[in-house]
Chain A
Amino acid sequence: MLVHIDPSSTVPLFEQVASSLRRSLADGHPAPGQQLPAARELAKALEINVHTVLRAYALLRDEGLIDLRRRRGAVVIGGASSRARLAELAEDLVREAKRTGVGLDELTGVLKEKYT
């Protein structure tokens, strides 16, 4: 499981951490049932605030990728790999839509058309 950040980037650090973790989860590392590193350990290794890591973990929890438990920490949920892959693809899709000037309604229309 690789987490990397670029402090000089304009993207907020918690989003960078979440994005890295999402990519690792999409690759199947760590597997469902396994724990993510303790927030304090990850923050220390990346030289960032522990609350930044906790905010990234909260984001992943809201996406249904991990479960935050009081004693066991951040645990990967079953099916996280496919959901993380989908979230990554959606992120790419939105980025491309913004770049080419496609609005939300138009993008939603494209998705509905493709889905059916």
Chain B
Amino acid sequence: MNKLIRVLSATAVLPGAALATAGVLENGWAGRLPDPVATHWNSAPNGATPLGAFTGVCLALGAVAVLLLATTAVAALRRGRPLPRLTVGVGAGFAGLPPAVLLSVLVANLDAPDWHAARNGAVVVLFLLGAVVLGAVAALVGGLPAPPVRETPGDRPSVGLRPGQRAFWSGRAANPAMLWALALIPVAIAFLPAGLPWPTAVWIALVGAVVTALTYRLSATVDAKGVTIRFGLLGVPWRHLGLDSIREATTRELTTFGDGGLGLRFNPVTGTTAYKVRGGPALVLALESGRTVLVGVDDPETGAGLVNDLLAQRITRID
């Protein structure tokens, strides 16, 4: 099936059909529904909204979600970006939420003389499960890996590793400003005019310490097995990318707040995961899956060169 048809089926047709079904049913059941309809429950119905307003809001939200999802997915497809199944599935599931909520409210209110007599709202669980199923189907239909791009080896960095040689590369980066920020948290709390209850202050300091521990330092190592990325003072979280999952390595200059900002960032549209504690040079790993991993560490040219040389040796050995 054509890729565009698959993507549009998953991101526009499926959630759009759910939205249209909800709209048609509301129209067909208009004579059997009270107005206003019960829209909030607390064991029994305890809140109502005019039928037209509730239906309009749900349909409008659903339409906006479908439009956003479909245009984003088609734009990603046109740019040759990957469309991971998880991303398509979660997106379609979210776009299916407004019709699911509308249908559950309509079913609960169907044939009730007024909103106080509406049935139990637990039926919403059933329709939410329906949205999950819709997301799963969309993921199966519309998830696409990026087209493999084979570039000329001449463009790639290299460290000139010869056959039989073994090598290890290590690069790191730190953000001392994070430590200063941690030191400033108690000072800032102390200077708050109204003061803070001590449990709140302790929680803020604790969260600050954890965030600092996770994002203060970053390191990457390359050896014959692949690339290992370690975050934070304790080296956790960490990630290992086997050589067989990497297509090539290059370098890039990152801005401090680009690619989602500092920390561990994932962009589901571009399929890019960024590990950053500062702006500046970064190792760029293009994966076989079509995704990209950015690691902001010092001397990334050497790391990228070693990855490419190890990949070239691996291909030579297999051939």
**Chain A interface (Cβ < 8 Å from any Cβ of B):** 1-8, 27, 29-30, 34, 37, 41-42, 45-47
Residues of A within 8 A of B168 (CB): 2-4, 37, 42, 45-46
Taking the complex as formed, is B54 at the interface, i.e. its CB lies under 8 A from any CB of chain A?
no
Partner of B166, one of A1, A27, A41, A47: A47
Where chain B touches its partner, the secondary structure class is mixed
A45 touching B224, Cβ below 8 Å: yes
Taking the complex as formed, is B182 at the interface, i.e. its CB lies under 8 A from any CB of chain A?
no
Taking the complex as formed, is B165 at the interface, i.e. its CB lies under 8 A from any CB of chain A?
yes
A4 touching B165, Cβ below 8 Å: yes
B166 touching A4, Cβ below 8 Å: yes
Least CB separation from B305: chain A residue? A2
Cβ proximity bits B166-196 to A, threshold 8 Å, 1 near / 0 not = 1111111000000000000000000000000
Can you report 6 A-B residue pairs in the complex whose CB atoms are below 8 A from each other?
A1-B169, A1-B302, A2-B306, A7-B166, A41-B221, A47-B224
Give the distance in Å from the alpha carbon of A6 to the alpha carbon of B76 in the complex: 45
**Chain B interface (Cβ < 8 Å from any Cβ of A):** 159, 161-162, 164-172, 221, 223-225, 298-299, 302, 306
Where chain A touches its partner, the secondary structure class is loop
Give the distance in Å from the alpha carbon of A7 to the alpha carbon of B302 in the complex: 21
Residues of A within 8 A of B306 (CB): 2
Give the distance in Å from the alpha carbon of A42 to the alpha carbon of B168 in the complex: 7
Give the distance in Å from the alpha carbon of A5 to the alpha carbon of B170 in the complex: 15
Residues of A within 8 A of B164 (CB): 6-8
B159 touching A4, Cβ below 8 Å: yes
Give the distance in Å from the alpha carbon of A29 to the alpha carbon of B168 in the complex: 13
* Shortest beta-carbon distance from A104 to chain B in Å: 32
Given contacts A1-B171, A30-B170, A46-B167, 11 further A-B contacts (CB under 8 A): A3-B167, A3-B169, A4-B159, A4-B166, A4-B168, A5-B166, A6-B162, A8-B164, A45-B166, A45-B223, A46-B168
Least CB separation from B298: chain A residue? A29
Residues of B within 8 A of A27 (CB): 299
* Shortest beta-carbon distance from B228 to chain A in Å: 10
Partner of A1, one of B165, B223, B224, B299: B299
Least CB separation from A30: chain B residue? B172
